[in-house]
A = this chain, B = another copy of it.
Amino acid sequence: MFEEARRRDQQDSMADKRALFALPENCIYLDGNSLGPLPVAAKARATEVVEQQWGNDLITSWNKHSWITLPQRCGEHLAPLLGAKADQVICCDSISVNLFKLLCGALALQHGRTKIITTTDNFPTDVYIVQGIQQLLGEERCQLITVDETEIEAALNDDVAILLLTQVNFRTGNVLNMAKLTEMAHQHGILTVWDLAHSAGVLPLELDNCQVDFAVGCTYKYLNGGPGAPAFMYVAERHENAFIQPITGWMGHATPFTFSSSYTPHQSVSQSLTGTPSVISMSVLEASLEMWSDVDIHQVRQKSIELGEFMLNCMQHLQLTDTLPLASPLNPNQRGSQLAFKHDHAYAICQAWIAEGVIADFRAPNILRVGFAPLYISFQDIWTACEALQKIMQEKTYLQPEYQKKQTVT
């Protein structure tokens, strides 16, 4: 397998991208789906924005370095990766805050309809945000309905206001069919809100072509924007006039610097902004996003699938398949850029793997999750990681006390 890995790495047209990242030595990083690593360009940009722009140019940087247009510029970098025409994407706040804005705004477009359908196994914050809206607006205006991933289609009907789905399941990696589900929802007059947390930067997306209504996503996973980097929002052009989001801060105003005493929404996706942008974080994010201008996302997807399949082959070859059963779909087209394995000691196994220089992550209650970020992961990385895993499983190193408990973050 090692020879095969080497051969594949030699043929990898994307291999040179690894040099764009400041990865630590002796570390195989299979957790870019949780926190992408530091791009070299982002490191330099962080120094520039802190020392030059903030330090030397101070307040004048809002104009001199165009801080004020960072949310729009980051949106422009993202749009092609999302299959979105310009002026529909903007960066700000967190996924949770942005979902709140989109869901309230979308509900208001659906006069009389109150139901928001989502999946039981959606990432918790998506469900919590709907619960918060339901509590705020009352059940007569908002009702959360959760269904199994297999029951989505059956749950769609003319009473439903919004279908809120995360394209890639954060645990299993199962991919929902965006084109089909969006079309089915529209047949019932339902608006769709897609969470692209585990999609953006690794799956080819076609938001415009799929006629998606609204979307949110994360920039600190496959997009390498840095820990807690600002999220993004997509509002389809056709909704921009009628859509009104409720957290109407001054940055969403048509003319914020006239300091008018009355709110007039900006006539663009900029209406979805709220407060002053997080300049340092967003500058770092912009540097990370600039890397994507010459990346073919279809090639990224292709390599992601190959990495996943190669890992499954290695696991089989090393006889790990029975001890660590797959919780992800077997069909690679049916999963995102990750593999999930079930084990009662998943947490401890993850810690023992980290001690061996392989970083993956654990998702409660029993999932060992491995992410493939094709820009910097090689086939040799996968082989080495699997060999380390085999050793841990054979020697049951994970039973050692230092590998028990603690917590990590998405």
Contact = CB atoms under 8 A, between A and B. Distances in A.
Interface string A1-34: 0000000000000000000001010010101001
A376 to B, nearest CB: 12
Interface string A246-276: 1111111100111111110000000000111
A275 B219 CA distance: 13
Contact of A97 (B55, B97, B256, B408): B97
A235 to B, nearest CB: 16
B55 A248 contact: no
Interface stretch (A157-165, A180-188, A279-287, A333-341): A279-287
Interface in A129-157: 129, 131-133, 135-137, 146
A248 B137 CA distance: 13
A211 interface: no
Interface of A: 22, 24, 27, 29, 31, 34-35, 37-38, 42-43, 46-47, 50-51, 53-63, 67-68, 93-97, 100, 104, 108, 120-121, 123-125, 127-129, 131-133, 135-137, 146, 220, 226-231, 244-253, 256-263, 274-282, 284, 354, 359, 361, 363-364, 406-410
Contact of A246 (B95, B136, B251, B276): B136
A68 B409 contact: yes
A93 B94 CA distance: 8
Contact of A278 (B53, B260, B281): B281
A250 B124 contact: yes
A261 B231 contact: no
Given A54-B226, A58-B359, A277-B228, A249 B97 contact: yes
Most buried by B among A94, A120, A230: A94
B408 A59 contact: yes
Contacts of A104: 136
Given A59-B409, A278-B228, A94 B249 contact: yes
Contacts of A56: 24
Each complex incorporates copies of this chain amounting to 2
A65 to B, nearest CB: 10
- What 9 pairs across the A-B complex have the smallest Cβ distances? A94-B275, A96-B249, A132-B248, A227-B279, A125-B250, A96-B275, A128-B263, A38-B55, A136-B246
Given A58-B359, A227-B61, A96 B274 contact: yes
Given A43-B51, A263-B131, A59 B247 contact: no
B228 A282 contact: yes
Contact of A59 (B22, B35, B121): B35
Contacts of A120: 261
10 contacts: A46-B46, A46-B50, A60-B359, A62-B227, A67-B228, A97-B247, A100-B246, A100-B274, A124-B263, A127-B262
Most buried by B among A34, A135, A258, A409: A409
A287 to B, nearest CB: 11
Contacts of A227: 53-54, 61-62, 67, 276, 279-280
A131 to B, nearest CB: 5
Contacts of A34: 59
A40 to B, nearest CB: 10
